[in-house]
Structure 1
Amino acid sequence: MDFQSLGLAPRLTARLAEGGLVTPTPIQAQAIPHALAGRDVIGLAQTGTGKTAAFGLPLVHALGKTGVRPEPKRPVGLVLAPTRELAKQIADTLGDFTRGSHLRVSLVVGGASMNRQADTLRKGVDLLVATPGRLIDLIERKALSLDDTRFLVLDEADQMLDMGFIHALRRIARLLPARRQTMLFSATMPRQIEELSRGYQTDPVRIEVARPGLAVDRIDQWVHFVAQPEKLALLKTMLADHPGERSLVFARTKHGAERIMKQLAKAGFAAGSIHGNKSQGQRERTIAAFRKGTTKVLVATDVAARGLDIEGVGHVYNYDLPNVAENYVHRIGRTARAGADGRAVAFCSADESAALKDIQKLLKASIPVGGGQPWHPLAANSGKPRAARPARPRRNRSRTKMRAAA
């Protein structure tokens, strides 16, 4: 099977061929024909499986057939994403698909000039990519109307709910025309996603190409049991053992990420940070430096857990374990990109034992121990942890590799 056999416009398939894309991924092969037929779609697949093209190509195909210039402030297609990074990646991809056509793609996210975004919308936009908060801001300013929106995509819907966007999504739903095509893509299918689908979609076709919640085959994983105050010293030791390598460090909070970055920079590491307190320009410049290699260590909150596609990330360090087990899978999926091998290290303090248990339950496997000893069940409350000070990371060629679909 190739893209041409799916029924896409010849201009689109030629554009894909120019980029070396000929064979669709499973989610693309199954979703695109239903989307081209006008069906509402629920697509369940992990990050990195080609979901953007699975909804983007049918969108561009449908909009390309209209040949009508959009009215000012009234986009015809709308894609909602939970984070600025993911929204920008989607907009860049759609921009590649529409290059050389009459279609206009625009991005509106927080941390950037709202006046500039409003000016762009006044000129007319065919396809708008947005984060929910900024979309509502523009609607409230009368800079945007959804009256003509006939195509809607909710990407990474489960993360939008995790980030508290449920009320924003319900509000947006009331502003959309009843007659529209809606595609919802998610890595997992919790109960709230089913409720969201019922409110947004009509008789959707459900496509699931891989069991959610597994880690990629090429990622070696291990856990270090370490007291919270000792994590920074352990991280510095591990980073020093891999000089020149790109590494991604995940922290739970914005302030924690900034503090870790500053401590690493003070110790001589080329480090940067991205989190919700950074402007969009700051985040884009930091990611560009990390992609280029001038920044070697990127410290981030879960804003980078999805939508950050950078080759050559050798290690992902979970400095703080995530509160939501599925986010661990998305975090470690930032390594082992484009067929490369990758390594993921989890730091587990006494009060994170329950989070580790949830992660291993999701993986249906125990993560091999790289250092320290598992915490005593009462360690978090007793103040007397039983874990030994973790050793420096060892090279264990026999580490078990977790199976996955990133």
Structure 2
Amino acid sequence: MSFKELNLIEPIQKALRTDGYLEPTPIQVKAIPPLLKGKDLLGCAQTGTGKTAAFAIPILQGIQAEKKSTKGNRQIRALIVAPTRELAIQISESFKSYGKNLEVKTLVIYGGVGQNPQTKVLRQGVDILVATPGRLLDLINQGFVSLKNVKYFVLDEADLMLDMGMLKDVKKIITFIPKIRQTMFFSATMPTEIGELANSILNDPVRIDITPESPTVDIIEQSVYPVDKVNKTKLLVHILKDKKIDSALVFSRTKHGANKIVAYLEKAGFAAEAIHGNKSQNARQLALNNFKKRKTRILIATDIAARGIDIDELSHVINFDLPEVPETYVHRIGRTGRAGLGGKAISFCDFGEKPFLRSIQKLTSKSIQEVTEHPYPLVDTTIKPKERSNKRRSSTKSFESNEQKQNSKETKNGKIRREKRANESKKTNSKNNQKRKSDHWSKS
């Protein structure tokens, strides 16, 4: 099937051809026709399936049709809410790309940057608003955003919003939107709370569940390197010396860990950048753009910062730290298997991460190839949480002992000072008494 067969207007078809999109993905084939008819939609699909175009194209076509019959100032007709800044920016770029030949204006708003440039564009009027929940509510409360004319509402990556504690904000936002609207709801998974939210805001939706023709775990070459935790950075440097690694997305469990990896790689002569929540939005976007344009070969990321990022033809994903949740592993490595393309996923596993590895293999029903022939093989097979705990208790006892000694010393010193002041007071009183007696006798 071609995009032409989906009854798209020529300006959109032209934009798709320019961008090199010739055939729609399965979710686009299933979603675009009912959305063009105004139906609500519930889509269970992961990032990388083409879902952004699945909802963006019908919205663009609908707004363009309205513009032919109405005139006046631009009003927000479509609202897309996304959990992260990176995903919001990416969605906005997709709308601008598909709608480049239309008279439609798109704006993206998110926190972490000054609001003045965003409010300036809002005053001029926009047709499509892509936003993260926090900044959107902030600008609504300040009177910069009115959602009373919204006709199209999209909630993307709803399960991630649940994980990030955003559902309360999302529910507040929904109260500002007209009840008569077209709603599109997307989530990679459907936990109970997300299912309840979907049922409360959708009206007789078309349900689409997209499963890739070839599961991610089957099309990606996976391997795991047993290595001591202290040698992980050395092993990473060793692996990245391979010129066949065209681009590598490296996952760290923590923001602090991501910064340490970047610092180590830079000392080793590699150009690397990090994206995580402690980075400014401008720094995160610059790092991501440099990576997409191949200016930077290595990008270090945490899971939250990387969720929703779409990177074409990523050759390698490296799990510097194995995730504690096995589903997260599938999300991570899936970034190198987009659109059916193969790729390689390399994982480091210290002895303490063995349970995580077993959980991953159980979930994927796949045994991951173990690579032991490398310069930094696993040696330390002991975990000593009790010793660490005892050290903490010992340290606490030592601290308490010192504190008790200090208190005892302070008490003793205080007692000495009080006794000294009492003796001085007695001497003073004695002198005064003697003086009064002397005065009395002299007067007599």
Same fold (TM over 0.5): yes
**Residue 60 of structure 1: aligned partner:** 60
Q: 5+ residue gaps in structure 2?
A: 389-444
Question: Would you say the 8 A contact 2:228–2:378 is kept in 1?
Answer: no
**Residue 123 of structure 1: aligned partner:** 124
Residues of 2 paired with 1:196 and 1:64: CA distance?
Answer: 30
Q: What's the TM-score once normalised by structure 1's chain length? A: 0.86
Question: Would you say the 8 A contact 1:76–1:150 is kept in 2?
Answer: yes
**Residue 112 of structure 1: aligned partner:** 113
Deviation, structure 1 residue 379? 4.2
Aligned to 1:119, the other structure's residue is in SS state: helix
Question: Would you say the 8 A contact 2:249–2:316 is kept in 1?
Answer: yes
1:92 is aligned to 2:93: yes
Question: Would you say the 8 A contact 1:311–1:338 is kept in 2?
Answer: no
**Residue 317 of structure 1: aligned partner:** 318
Deviation, structure 1 residue 143? 1.3
The amino acid that maps onto 1:64 is Q
Residues of 2 paired with 1:252 and 1:187: CA distance?
Answer: 21
TM alignment of 1:143-182, pairs within 5 A: 143-182=144-183
Question: Would you say the 8 A contact 1:350–1:380 is kept in 2?
Answer: no
**Residue 82 of structure 2: aligned partner:** 81
Deviation, structure 1 residue 118? 1.0
Question: Would you say the 8 A contact 2:214–2:340 is kept in 1?
Answer: no
Deviation, structure 1 residue 139? 1.6
Q: What's the TM-score once normalised by structure 2's chain length? A: 0.79
Deviations 1:295-352 (A, max 9, x none): 2211111245333333343221111222433322222122244665311112223443
TM alignment of 1:162-311, pairs within 5 A: 162-210=163-211, 214-215=215-216, 217-242=218-243, 245-311=246-312
Deviation, structure 1 residue 135? 1.3
Deviation, structure 1 residue 108? 0.7
Aligned to 1:333, the other structure's residue is in SS state: helix
Provide the identity percentage. 45
Aligned to 1:365, the other structure's residue is in SS state: coil
The amino acid that maps onto 1:284 is Q
Deviation, structure 1 residue 211? 6.3
1:315–1:153 CA distance, 2 compared to 1 (3 A): same
**Residue 28 of structure 2: aligned partner:** 28
1:373–1:206 CA distance, 2 compared to 1 (3 A): farther
TM alignment of 1:349-360, pairs within 5 A: 349-360=350-361
Structure number with the higher helix fraction is 2
1:262–1:374 CA distance, 2 compared to 1 (3 A): closer
Question: Would you say the 8 A contact 1:78–1:129 is kept in 2?
Answer: yes
What is the count of residue pairs matched by the alignment?
382
**Residue 397 of structure 2: aligned partner:** none
Deviation, structure 1 residue 374? 12
- Comparing 89-98 with 320-329, which one deviates more in the overlay? 320-329
Deviations 1:355-377 (A, max 9, x none): 3333223322222222367998x
**Residue 410 of structure 2: aligned partner:** none
Question: Would you say the 8 A contact 1:213–1:362 is kept in 2?
Answer: no
Higher Cα Rg, which structure? 2
1:318–1:113 CA distance, 2 compared to 1 (3 A): same
**Residue 344 of structure 1: aligned partner:** 345
Residues of 1 paired with 2:97 and 2:348: CA distance?
Answer: 39
Structural RMSD (CA): 2.7
Question: Would you say the 8 A contact 1:184–1:197 is kept in 2?
Answer: yes
Question: Would you say the 8 A contact 1:305–1:330 is kept in 2?
Answer: no
Residues of 1 paired with 2:255 and 2:16: CA distance?
Answer: 38
Residues of 1 paired with 2:141 and 2:384: CA distance?
Answer: 46
Residues of 1 paired with 2:168 and 2:352: CA distance?
Answer: 31
Deviations 1:127-183 (A, max 9, x none): 111112221222222211222211111122222222221222122122221111111
Deviations 1:12-37 (A, max 9, x none): 22332343333211100001111112
Residues of 1 paired with 2:178 and 2:240: CA distance?
Answer: 52
Deviations 1:222-255 (A, max 9, x none): 1223332222222122112347732111112222
Residues of 1 paired with 2:71 and 2:307: CA distance?
Answer: 33
Aligned to 1:202, the other structure's residue is in SS state: coil
The amino acid that maps onto 1:215 is T
Residues of 2 paired with 1:70 and 1:147: CA distance?
Answer: 16
Higher relative contact order (CA 8 A, sep 6+): 1
Deviations 1:163-206 (A, max 9, x none): 22122212212222111111112222222221220222122221
Deviations 1:262-318 (A, max 9, x none): 121122111111111112211122122222333221111124533333334322111
